[in-house]
A = this chain, B = another copy of it.
Amino acid sequence: MYMTQGLLRASQLQPDMPALVSSKNSFTWCEVKTRVASLAGGLKDLGLKTEDRVAMLSLNSHRYAEFYYGVFWAGGNVVPMNIRWSMSEHIYAINDSEVKFIIVDDNFKDIGKSLFQECASLKGIIHASDNRAAGEMINYEDIIENSLPVEDSNRSGEDLAGIFYTGGTTGFPKGVMLPHRALWTSAFCFGHAANVTQRDRVIHAPPLFHIAGSAMLFAVTLFGGSHAFIDGFEPKAFIGAISELNGSMSLLVPTMVTMLLQSPQLKQTDTTKFTRLLYGASPMTLAILNEAMEKLPSTKFIHAYGQTELGPLATILEPEYHSVEGAESGVIRSVGRPVPSVEIEIVDENGLEVPRGVTGEIKVKGANTMLGYWKKPDETTETLKNGWVHTGDGGYMDKEGFIYVVDRLKDMIITGGENVYSAEVENIIMQFPGLLECAVVGIPSKKWGEAVHAFVVVRDGFEVKEAAIMDYCRTQISSFKCPRTIDIQTNPLPKSAAGKIQKFELRAPFWDGHDRKIS
């Protein structure tokens, strides 16, 4: 159970078939294997030791795939970095996981250079680009050209494969420690659910730093399929990848589905060979889903639900339920049933299983669970109990085992496919002078699925402007975490008997009448 297995198997079975392609270049499996083994050799020459961390800060490209496999091959741990993080979040993640090398593309070389100055753990910065840069950066292509390929490290099973950061409740992201076993099993379940074969070519639309993006990378490789890269999601480029690069499948977040449907190119394109569309990571309305099924009649739809702590897959709603019958029975509103590698239970506050149809917390156990949070024993104990991951998501299970997610107990907001923990945003807002209390919730957004919305209560004698709070937030956290709208009031927020703010009440009027599908 090793993450290099898919690469080794594919390069053995189909050495001369294209593996990583884009509009600019194409590499066969044999070439990729050699490049990966040389990258690993070069990283070791630079001083990489087993379990040393290597980060990547880059848009999608074939080099992102090589980064993952090259670091696994060398025996290191990957740290994929969110390109939308603020500088302080970048610094936090690198210091937190003591990253030794960072790989940046042309878009992030300046940030990379600053990080190299700031972070003591960094021993080298590698520039992944066709343009060979001078200065303190090591050129990625030089490493591959000049290094001897090494043998695979043979790390597997419980060995740590990488640290995947996810939104934190304390103001900074938490590092989810995923072993080879978890990533491998999740990839296997993904590949099975999407019925990936060696004839498939996946278009990588979501960012590869995101666990959903990397999971598709690992899944498709494991089943011998190939990969097409585009420079970030843009409907025209995506449609071009269907027709020019023979893309047969993709995983899209709902925002991307909406953008795709609005594109005038879609109608003029033959999509009969684009046979599978996986979606998830964010709420999507049934109206959008129906429109997508209508406009992509040859495409099977597959809904995936999970979270980083699960490597990430928990449930799958299969294509057969995306049908008239599925709509009539309501099962299309569910996130599907547990994949073969997991068990799921819905539990109450005391950890006891609730009857079918009753809402509780979704907990998940199986081969794809994390080892824990990096250097966060308390958060680990809170989330991982007896092998069960407590997802923090509220939901219920019906009699046939379908799961319906109804709310996020931890009040996480998913906006444009990114997780935003309301507590983190609230902590920042409350640093602004003159505020009494504050609550952050997700409200419906046509563009982002959910948008971050804040309620603030101003102290007597103070006057506070919406724009000033927004400006302050932008200096402290990623812009996607900042509230899009703020409701300033003087009345206290609704609270429970125990004094807890009732976010459900705050959220309700915004969602009323919305046909909301939460995933």
Contacts and interface: CB of A to CB of B under 8 A. Distances in A.
Interface of A: 1, 5-6, 8-9, 12-14, 154, 156-158, 181, 184-185, 188, 191-192, 222-224, 337-338, 340-345, 366-367, 387, 400-401
Contact of A367 (B1, B14, B158, B341): B1
Nearest to A342: B9
Contact of A157 (B6, B158, B338, B400): B158
A154 B13 CA distance: 36
Nearest to A4: B343
B188 A343 contact: no
Given A154-B387, A157-B157, A158-B157, A345 B181 contact: no
B181 A12 contact: no
A402 to B, nearest CB: 9
A181 B338 CA distance: 20
A9 B366 CA distance: 10
Given A158-B157, A181-B157, A401-B14, A223 B340 contact: yes
15 contacts: A1-B367, A9-B338, A9-B340, A9-B342, A9-B343, A12-B343, A13-B337, A13-B338, A13-B401, A14-B400, A157-B157, A188-B341, A222-B340, A223-B340, A224-B340
Specify which of A6, A341, A367 lies most central, judged by the most chain B CB atoms within 10 Å of its CB: A367
B5 A343 contact: yes
Contacts of A154: 387
Given A157-B181, A367-B1, A387-B154, A400 B13 contact: yes
A345 B401 contact: no
Given A13-B338, A157-B157, A343 B1 contact: no
A17 to B, nearest CB: 9
A54 to B, nearest CB: 24
B12 A345 contact: yes
